Amino acid sequence: RTRCTITDITCEKNGVEVFSAEDLSVDGMLLRLNGKISSGELLNLSMKLPENTRRISFSGRVAYLVENNLKTSYSAGIAIEEIKETDRNRLKNFIVDIASGAAMLEYHKLLEREKPSEEFRIEGEEPERILRNLLNEGLTINHLDEEGLRIIETHISDIHGREFSSQVPKHHSGNAFFSFTQKGASFTFSTKSSGWADGMGTFKFPSVIFRGEKRAGQRKDDGGYIELTSSTEKVFGRMMDSSRRGILCEIPRESFLGNPLNTGQSLDISINGKTIPGEIRHIVEERSNEGRSVFRIGLETGIRRREPESTVYNTETWRKMWNGPQKTLGDSSLVHPRSIYYTNHEGRKIAALLHIIDPDKPCIAVVIPPAFGKKKEVLAPLALTLMANFSAAGENLAVLRYDGIDRPGESANANINSRRGYEMIGYRIDQGYTDLEATMHWIKNNDIFNADKTVLISFSMSALDARRLQAASKAPQADYWISVMGISSAQGALRNILGGLDVIASHRMGLPIGTMGMLGQLIDMDQMAADMTRLGYATSADARETMSKIKSPVTWLFGAYDKWIIPDEINDIMSIKSPGEREIIKIPTAHNLRTSNDAIKTFQMLSDAILRRLRRKELPSVSPDRTELLDLLTRERERVMENEELNARRYWKGYLIGESEEEEGYDFYRKLTDFKEFLDDEVSLLNPEPGESIADLGCGTGLVSEAILSSLAVNGTDLRGTRFTAVDLIDEALVKAEKKYQKLCTSYPELKVVKDSWISMDLEPDALAGLRNIVKQPEDIPAVITDLRERIKGLQSETIHRLESIPKTMMSDILKGNRIGIEMQKELDSNTSAGDSLVLTDLNRAARFILGDIDEEDLKPSRRRGSGRLSSNRLVQVRSSDLLLAAMNLGDWSREGKPSLDDSSFDVICGSLFLSYLFVPGEAVKEFFRMLKPDGRLLISTMKPDSDISGIFTRYIQEQSSMDTGSDLKERKEDNLREARSMLNEAAALFTLEEDGWFRFFDEHELITMMRNAGFTNIRVTESLGKPAQALIITGRKKKV
Q: How would DSSP label each residue in 924-989?
A: HHHHHHHHEEEEEEEEEEEEPTT--THHHHHHHHHHHHT--TTSTTHHHHHHHHHHHHHHHHHHHH
Q: How high is the mean pLDDT of the chain? A: 84
Q: Is the distance from CB of 410 to CB of 417 less than 8 angstroms?
A: no
User: In this structure, what DSSP letter does residue 829 have?
Assistant: H
Look at residue 24 and give its three-state secondary structure. strand
Q: Tell me the domain boundaries of the chain.
A: 9-74, 98-208, 220-301, 309-489+539-640, 656-764+899-1038, 769-882
C-alpha span between 1012 and 168 (Å, rounded):
55
Q: Is the pLDDT of residue 335 over 60?
A: yes
- 856 CB contacts (<8 Å, ≥6 apart)? 864, 865, 866, 867, 868, 869, 870
Nearest alpha-carbon partner for 142 in 961, 953, 954, 973:
961
- What CATH number has the domain spanning 98-208? 2.30.110
On the question of pLDDT at 949 being above 90, the answer is no
pLDDT at 300: 87
Taking the C-alpha atoms of residue 80 and residue 75, their distance in angstroms, rounded to an integer, is 16
- The pLDDT confidence band at residue 912, using thresholds 50, 70 and 90, is very high
* φ, ψ at 668 (rounded to 5°): -60, -30
d(CA 616, CA 613): 6
Predicted local distance difference test score (pLDDT) of residue 961: 60
* Structural domain 656-764+899-1038, CATH architecture: 3-Layer(aba) Sandwich (3.40)
Task: Say how far apart CA 473 and CA 657 lie, in whole Å.
Answer: 58
CATH topology of domain 309-489+539-640: Rossmann fold (3.40.50)
What is the fold of 220-301?
Thrombin, subunit H (2.40.10)
Count the neighbouring beta carbons within 10 Å of the beta carbon of residue 413: 23
First to last CA, the chain: 64
Give the whole-angstrom CA distance, residue 304 versus residue 306. Answer: 7
2 pLDDT above the threshold of 70: no
Percentage of residues of the chain with pLDDT beyond 70: 85
Q: How many helices (H) and strands (E) does the chain have?
A: 28, 42
Mean pLDDT of 711-738: 89
> What is the model's pLDDT at position 517?
67
Confidence of residue 996 (pLDDT cuts 50, 70, 90): low
- Average confidence (pLDDT) over 356-361: 96
- The CB density around residue 575, as the number of other CB atoms within 10 Å, is 19
Largest CA distance in the chain: 109
Q: Which of 179, 593, 158, 184 is nearest to 368 (CA)?
A: 593
- Is residue 722 within 8 Å of 754, Cβ to Cβ? yes
Residue 411's pLDDT is what?
Answer: 92
What is the spatial distance between Cα 841 and Cα 847, in angstroms, rounded to a whole number? 10
- What is residue 838's three-state secondary structure? helix
Same fold, 309-489+539-640 and 656-764+899-1038: yes
- pLDDT for 115 equals 62
With residue 153 as reference, give the H or E element that holds it.
strand 150-154
The count of other CB atoms within 10 Å of the CB of residue 299 is 22
Give the whole-angstrom CA distance, residue 62 versus residue 72.
19
Residues 6+ apart with CB under 8 A from 628: 328, 329, 335, 384
8 Å CB contact between 620 and 1027: no
CA-CA distance, 283 to 233, in Å (whole number)?
Answer: 16
In terms of residues, how long is the chain? 1041
pLDDT for 303-333, tens place per residue?
Answer: 888 899 999 999 889 988 877 899 999 998 9
**What mean pLDDT comes out for the span 74-96?**
81
Confidence band of 184 (pLDDT split at 50, 70, 90)? low
Phi, psi of 938, rounded to the nearest 5 degrees: -125, 135
d(CA 116, CA 105): 16
pLDDT at position 968: 47
pTM value is 0.68
In sequence order, which residues have a C-beta less than 8 Å from that of residue 19 and are 6 or more positions away? Answer: 7, 32, 33, 34, 73
